[in-house]
Structure 1
Amino acid sequence: MATGSALDLGSHRVRFASAKSHKNEVELLRYISGAPEAGESSVVAAQNIFGSEVKRGEALRVGLTGSDLMMRYLPVPVVEDWRLERLMEFEIREIEERSGSSLASSYNLLPVPQGLDDEETMLLGLVREDLLDDTMAQMPSMAVQAFSPNAIALYNAYLALGDHEPCTTLLASLGNGTLDLALVSGTDLYFARSVSTALAKRNQTLATALGINESQAEALIHKHCDLGLALRTVQSTDVDRVTRPLLPMYESLPTLLSGVVTLCKAQARLNELNLDRVLLTGGAADTKGLVDFLADRMHVEVSRWNPSEMVEIGGLADAEAEQLERDGCAATVVIGLALGAADNNLYALEILTSDAKKKRDFLERGIFHILMGVAAAAYIALSLVVMGGLADDTESVSRTLRRTEQTNERNHQSALDLLDKIDQRSIMFFDLRNRQSIGDSAYHFMNYLENHLPASLWVESMTIQLDDGKDW
């Protein structure tokens, strides 16, 4: 029975959950939720709130969402795994060259049924390495196993706790300024995406409209905001005063949700695709009138989906169970992240920095090889002792074993150093290639001017400059 722990770094609240999954049963072992202090980032808040709660050595799956995360869909041929890895490595290098930044990445084939397309579709997740390094540096007491998109966590929560209806379902987790989406059919993932929304400025917008501070605006929103106003099903002065300034922010949501089907057709190459229903979850799913508002605008069935009601909570402390009940739909993402860490059968998209990948590879492969060598040498030594009873030979073999182990460790470290040098030489090669390309272009341009520029015209100066791309 595997267990997994996860962290959801929301801008409004941060959440920690630990779960175990066994034979289609999901049990929450821990659940903690807290809000950042004024001016405090969600990462720092997580360290302050959960730093003493997370068990030492407990590996965490951390969620990613918003504009920092890039998710791309690539058509790939049906080839051997090693060829597919080479193809993806080349694609990632090309994207890094264009962005000018080191990117942490992970990829996995979409579980689209065979027959919908001649080629397979690869889902590629990318995020800047320096952002992940900063996140881990600000949480020194917590061990990060991997980062994973919230949209994938949403899909995994549906795999473990959803109804798996044989229809096209859009899972939408609406948070405070973020929208995580997963388009599924039955248990197959067709499309996943995370975007930012204007709802992050909801409190500020109402505060400006009413001439109050943002804390007062937030309290009024929780009390009086009702999107039934847009459907003319609610008539109230307080509702009108609070909701009307916010309506433009919500009017863009149906377009964002409906646009997922169009994007899926283009990027995942699915021609015949129609949306049947929307399952709404996340912290903002409880907004009054939102379900009816989306159903009216999108002309499909819309309902709230709360996975926190479908998990076993007998192992939670009373305070944690009460907090889970208060959070409701807002706990969906962190539950999905924890399940993804606990169950290897769920869909995986684990993003790691290059240093973290090297450490993991060493733990999974390097140590294994060393231990295998140690075990083999120990077996030989033991056989000699048993068969010959030669104590001196046993000591000699033991010394040889230690030397072999030290040699293996040195060779492994040398290999890691060589990989670092290769990475540095690759960076230098691509930089020199770019500079040579610019120099060649300048040479051809000057040659053209020398041969074709009319005598009545002349060039006084020309500047060539190479800059790094910051926006990607």
Structure 2
Amino acid sequence: MRRGSAVAIDPGKDRIRAVWVRSGGHSLKIERAIEVDGPGDEESIGELVLELSRNGVPISLGLGLNGEMAALRYNLLPPVPDWRLEMILKYELEEIAEKSGEPLSSDFMELSFPDSMTDEMVLLVGLGKESKIAPVVSRVAEAKGRVRLALPLALGAYHCFLACADHNDQETVLIVDVGHRESHILIVREDRLLFARAVTFGGADLDKLISDRVKLSSEEARIRKETLSSGGSVRDQESVEGCMRAWLNQLSQMLRSSVSFCQVQTKLPELTIDRALIAGGSAPAVLSSVVVPEAIGCPVEEFLPSIGGEALPGRASAWVGAIGVAAAQLDEKNRILDVLPEAEKKQREFKERTIFLWLAAAALLLSLLLRFGDVMITGNRVEEAVTVSSHWRQKINGWKAAEAEAKVANDVFRKREARLRVEIESSRFFSSVYDELRVALPASVAINKIESIRVELEGEVGIEVELQGSSDNSERMGLDHITSLQNALKEIPGVIRVEVDPGDLKNGSYPFVMRVSPDQKLPQAKRGSRRSPGRG
């Protein structure tokens, strides 16, 4: 971790958190932490930046992004050169932006799995909605501040873990940041991120369950939830406890599915979770029951950041996201996803280059003045001044030649675009199926294995995605959930066929195999096909 200080803002739906941290190189210290009520829009953030400025807090800050402002997705690719990788991701971003109908910004980081048998590159890609981020950046600028980093909040929990939690090289940790409306699920081994996911699920869902069951207002439901989570007793306690069990079972299913996705994606089928850290404003509800520890089979504890300085307002575990966004700005390995709008990135890059050029020009001018001054003083070093001038002239000519070579290389890259388009098409269908799974997968359905099948015969190519999983039948809806997933996959553009082979009821669940294809049928031949793991 670099020495220095950083400021971060976590804009919640009804509460905004801002934190200023300072690093001594090995640990963090809180300089200032502010929590205010507000909708988390650009106006509220702008007012908070003005308040920070009046209190002497630096206003060059990192902005945490919730699920409405940014999203995470994965790409699996064979090893390719950097220029080719950037070209592939550029085309995919353009396609996603075209489908969504709004401009997107992006960044990516390659995940590392030393113990894995896979040769593929696994990329975690961050997508930012410029229509949501740009107004906030502009409002911060109006308040005389500057957004230097826009980071999805799921990555905030990862950086808080690196900077403020005890961990060793032998354990795999599940981190769950359960917020009011959104939760983040991460899997970390040593200091490497294996998996990150954001889901629209949180304490507000539990409040609604209680409100609907006991016929209460949302505020009364929240109070009963918090009272019961802290060990107290409430009216209609049996009904409230039933709501909490249902909510915790749904969360447990998400956690198990996330671990399964991670095992498939990393090709680490023996991956096990050693312990789980629970953070967020809804952490007490999770920690008050044994449902989650029994479901994931490991100890569960609250994620309390180990950090000095000023005390944090409220529950410390609710500050994990904000502290992590601040810590990310001081990460020496730059393990971040910066999804600032492209215009802002270019402006930042221009300023940094301008400063560098001014410093370089000043250094060059000083060097020339010293050399020419020496010539004037000694009276016999004209030849040396000519040599220096010639030396710089050669450097300038070299820069021009390098620029010409770069232009030629760019022309070559453009000619390769046509080939790249063909390669991209082969992975788009699988990506669309995976994206739909992340959105439409019922909580009671677990996907254990994903395989892609490609069959080529006499110029004809057939593609099929095979899903193997199980559907919980505890509410006698197991087959209905499988049908629901089948119907959702049929709605994916380009899908022609979705076949399901359900198995017999076993251990309270229906196993099934589901095949999704853009073809009516695969070419009839022996399957000398290439199978590769799906995305988790």
Number of the residue aligned with 1:74: 75
Q: 2:301 aligns with which of 292, 300, 303?
A: 303
**2:271 match: secondary structure:** coil
Number of the residue aligned with 2:52: 53
Number of the residue aligned with 1:112: 113
Aligned residues: 379
Structure 1 CA distance, aligned partners of 2:308 and 2:289?
27
Structure 2 CA distance, aligned partners of 1:342 and 1:244?
44
Q: 1:74 to 1:62 in 2, by over 3 A?
A: same
Cα pair 1:73 1:267 within 8 Å, conserved: no
Cα pair 2:277 2:301 within 8 Å, conserved: yes
Structure 2 CA distance, aligned partners of 1:260 and 1:150?
17
Number of the residue aligned with 2:177: 173
Number of the residue aligned with 1:253: 251
Q: 1:133 to 1:236 in 2, by over 3 A?
A: closer
**Letter aligned with residue 304 of structure 1:** E
Deviations 1:427-457 (Å, cap 9, x if unpaired)?
Answer: xxxxxxxxxxxxxxxxxxxxxxxxxxxxxxx
Number of the residue aligned with 2:338: 350
Q: 1:101 to 1:339 in 2, by over 3 A?
A: same
Structure 1 CA distance, aligned partners of 2:202 and 2:246?
9
Where do 1:12-31 residues align within 5 Å?
Answer: 12-31=14-33
Cα pair 1:15 1:334 within 8 Å, conserved: yes
Q: Greater relative contact order: 1 or 2 (C-alpha under 8 angstroms, separation 6 or more)?
A: 1
Structure 1 CA distance, aligned partners of 2:120 and 2:135?
38
1:162 matched to 2:161 = no
Structure 1 CA distance, aligned partners of 2:148 and 2:160?
19
Deviations 1:385-417 (Å, cap 9, x if unpaired)?
Answer: 44237xxxxxxxxxxxxxxxxxxxxxxxxxxxx
Where do 1:142-291 residues align within 5 Å?
Answer: 142-165=145-168, 166-197=170-201, 199-225=203-229, 237-287=235-285, 289-291=287-289
Q: 1:330 aligns with which of 318, 322, 341?
A: 318
Number of the residue aligned with 2:308: 312
Cα pair 1:12 1:176 within 8 Å, conserved: no
Structure 1 CA distance, aligned partners of 2:184 and 2:124?
15
**2:62 match: secondary structure:** strand
Structure 2 CA distance, aligned partners of 1:277 and 1:42?
36
Percent of aligned pairs with the same amino acid: 26
Moved more, 181-190 or 129-138: 129-138
Moved more, 113-122 or 348-357: 113-122
Deviations 1:317-340 (Å, cap 9, x if unpaired)?
Answer: xxxx2xx16222101111111111
Structure 2 CA distance, aligned partners of 1:250 and 1:33?
28
Number of the residue aligned with 1:372: 360
**2:193 match: secondary structure:** strand
Deviations 1:67-120 (Å, cap 9, x if unpaired)?
Answer: 543212223444544443334333323333343321111111113226542133
Q: TM-score, structure 1 length as denominator?
A: 0.71
**1:369 match: secondary structure:** helix
Structure 2 unmatched ranges of 5 or more: 378-413, 415-492, 494-536
Task: Considering fraction of residues, name the structure with more strand.
Answer: 2
Structure 2 CA distance, aligned partners of 1:357 and 1:49?
23
**2:162 match: secondary structure:** helix
**Letter aligned with residue 45 of structure 2:** A
Structure 2 CA distance, aligned partners of 1:220 and 1:65?
27
Moved more, 242-251 or 334-343: 242-251
Cα pair 2:202 2:282 within 8 Å, conserved: no
State the Cα distance separating 1:254 from its structure 2 match: 0.2
**Letter aligned with residue 35 of structure 2:** S
**Letter aligned with residue 29 of structure 1:** E
Cα pair 2:6 2:22 within 8 Å, conserved: yes
Cα pair 1:224 1:238 within 8 Å, conserved: no
Cα pair 1:67 1:195 within 8 Å, conserved: no
Structure 1 CA distance, aligned partners of 2:370 and 2:209?
76
Structure 1 CA distance, aligned partners of 2:360 and 2:174?
48
Structure 1 unmatched ranges of 5 or more: 229-233, 390-425, 427-468
Q: 1:115 to 1:249 in 2, by over 3 A?
A: closer
State the Cα distance separating 1:297 from its structure 2 match: 2.9
Task: Considering fraction of residues, name the structure with more helix.
Answer: 1
Moved more, 203-212 or 251-260: 203-212
Cα pair 2:227 2:234 within 8 Å, conserved: no
Where do 1:82-121 residues align within 5 Å?
Answer: 82-113=83-114, 115-121=116-122
Q: 1:81 to 1:116 in 2, by over 3 A?
A: same
Structure 2 CA distance, aligned partners of 1:98 and 1:151?
24
**Letter aligned with residue 336 of structure 2:** A
Cα pair 1:178 1:195 within 8 Å, conserved: yes
Q: 1:360 aligns with which of 348, 356, 359?
A: 348
Q: TM-score, structure 2 length as denominator?
A: 0.63
Structure 2 CA distance, aligned partners of 1:136 and 1:374?
32
**2:52 match: secondary structure:** coil
**Letter aligned with residue 311 of structure 1:** I
Q: 1:294 to 1:111 in 2, by over 3 A?
A: same
State the Cα distance separating 1:239 from its structure 2 match: 2.7
Moved more, 21-30 or 189-198: 21-30
